[in-house]
Amino acid sequence: MEFIGAMQDRRVPQHYIMDYVSEMHGGAENVPVTAQDVKNLKAARRRDNNANDVSKLLMFFTSCKKENPQFFSDFQLDKEGKITSIFWSNASQQGDYIDFGDAITFDTTHKTNLYDKPLCMFVGANHHLQCAVFGFALLGDEIVETFEWVFNAFKTCMGTFKTCMGTEGPRVMLTGMDYCGVMVSTQRSESMNKLVKSAHVDGNTPLHEFAKQMPKLLHSRKMKEAKLTLAFKGQRETNTLYEFEFKVARAYTRAVMNRFEESMKYATAYKITCDPDGGVNDWVVPHTKRSNKIMRKLGDINVSASSGSTHILQIDKIPKEFNLQRYTNSARQDRSKGKDGETKSYRQKTMLKNIMKIINKAGMSKAGHDKYLDVMHELNGLLDRVEPDIGGYESCIDSDEEDNQCNEVVLIEDGVGILEEPVPVTNMQQKLDFTVEGISLERPDRAKPKGRTIKETETVVRKLGAKG
């Protein structure tokens, strides 16, 4: 029965379970349980899973906070202390926001949990043009005040993190409209909504189980990103021999490079004709209809060239102001820095160069090998007593400075980067603190999403017959 229960937990349909169990026992007549037994088991497991839902949710969030202090959650409560809305974001999601939070989509979807709470996700695009989720929210309703609350929760979570464009907060946020762009579109939110409902949750999922499923969603996104990062490390073939195209191919990800080549193909769809209003050496270079896809606002180009000469546009490199770090292979940078301004990865690289020389020498003799181990053991003890200058908030929170601010707050867990702006200690303490005070452990009321609420005074009319 445990095996059947595990399949039910993975949302395997009952007829598939019965077919598989029948095959395991050599036929339906040999199966020790009936279809009704399987239904009863599912109902019993569901009742057990739904019990103490809020308590289990708070325990899960507490464990997340203990595992990584950068985990953030916030609750909107009603007058009785019951949970109406929830927002949470993992440390890795906040790191994604720093790298790719310049444009965000926000949309709602329904039928994802037991309480009909609309699911909202803050979604962007990474350097492979894949969806990146920055935060999750389950709302009690869809009124203005609730949306203001969730946006403020998102703002509090991200604090003064600077995004990849050097701004505090996204430059673009899309909600109800569609924007035809490479980087962001509300279709990204819609695709993520579909993925969540098809692979992780459904309308019977309790809150604690919903929250536990979201790390699985994030892990699947990380695996897809890692797959592309590994697959496209080799040298990229270019369509032309332009020097700048070689440099673009080396710097940018494969997905962005494909977009670049498509744009360049349409941008070069032009023809050269004589300028009727000019002299013998005057020419007009208009773009054709094929280039209208990306060159709609560009007018004709007037060129003066001597008769019989050949002029080729020479571009050695892309101007610096057009180089976007967020689309490059190195978009995810090591932002954890020490007091000397050096990153952890830089220190490790310089040490590795020296340590490899020592290892090669020590490995040439037994005496050298033993001496190496003794010295390394002693060094390890010494390093345990050295206070690190990368990681943690302790030195900032315990500061006695009059301005009560921290000039450097370094977050290194799960790729979360450095805060370059001074951050008030009270703000960081608010992010670090996790309390369940005032939260009722009673089951939340069902949500009242816009356009889907049934008034209590309404009567349900059931029609019988062939058409009913």
Q: Does residue 126 have a pLDDT over 70?
A: yes
Element (H, E) at 136: strand 131-138
Averaged pLDDT, 328-353: 75
* Rounded Cα gap, residues 112 and 198, in angstroms: 10
Averaged pLDDT, 319-324: 77
Q: Residue 409: its pLDDT value, please?
A: 29
DSSP E strand stretches across 193-335: 273-274, 282-285, 301-304
* Rounded Cα gap, residues 28 and 443, in angstroms: 41
**pLDDT tens digits for range 249-287:** 888 888 888 888 887 777 776 777 777 777 777 777 666
Q: Checking phi first, is residue 438 left (phi over 0); if not, alpha (psi -120 to 50) or beta?
A: left
In residues, how long is the chain?
468
- Average per-residue pLDDT for the chain: 75
Whole-structure pTM value? 0.65
> Roughly what angle, to the nearest 10 degrees, separates helices 186-199 and 207-231?
120
Averaged pLDDT, 20-27: 86
Q: Residue 263: its pLDDT value, please?
A: 78
286 or 97: whose pLDDT is higher?
97
The bridge status of strand 172-174 relative to strand 131-138 is: unpaired
* Rounded Cα gap, residues 195 and 121, in angstroms: 12
Residue type present at position 309: S
* Rounded Cα gap, residues 212 and 83, in angstroms: 18
Which of 83-97, 177-191, 417-431 has maximum average pLDDT?
83-97
**Mean pLDDT lowest among 210-224, 379-393, 402-416:** 402-416
> Roughly what angle, to the nearest 10 degrees, separates helices 144-158 and 91-100?
90
The bridge status of strand 172-174 relative to strand 103-109 is: parallel
Q: Counting Cβ atoms within 10 Å, is residue 313 exposed (0-12), middle (13-18) or buried (19+)?
A: exposed
Q: Residue 462: its pLDDT value, please?
A: 40
Contact 110, 118 (CB under 8 A): yes
* Rounded Cα gap, residues 362 and 350, in angstroms: 19
Q: Residue 175: its pLDDT value, please?
A: 66
Spans of all domains in the chain: 2-50, 70-231, 243-327, 344-428
Q: Residue 352: its pLDDT value, please?
A: 85
Euclidean distance between the first and the last CA atom of the chain, given in angstroms as a whole number: 39
Residue 232: which residues within 8 A CB-CB, separation 6 or more? Answer: 253, 254, 329
* Rounded Cα gap, residues 151 and 170, in angstroms: 12
Ranges of H-type helices in 51-90: 53-67
The bridge status of strand 423-424 relative to strand 405-406 is: antiparallel
Distances (CA, A) of 29 to 17, 24, 32, 33, 440: 15, 12, 8, 10, 50
Q: Residue 197: its pLDDT value, please?
A: 84
Q: Checking phi first, is residue 415 left (phi over 0); if not, alpha (psi -120 to 50) or beta?
A: left
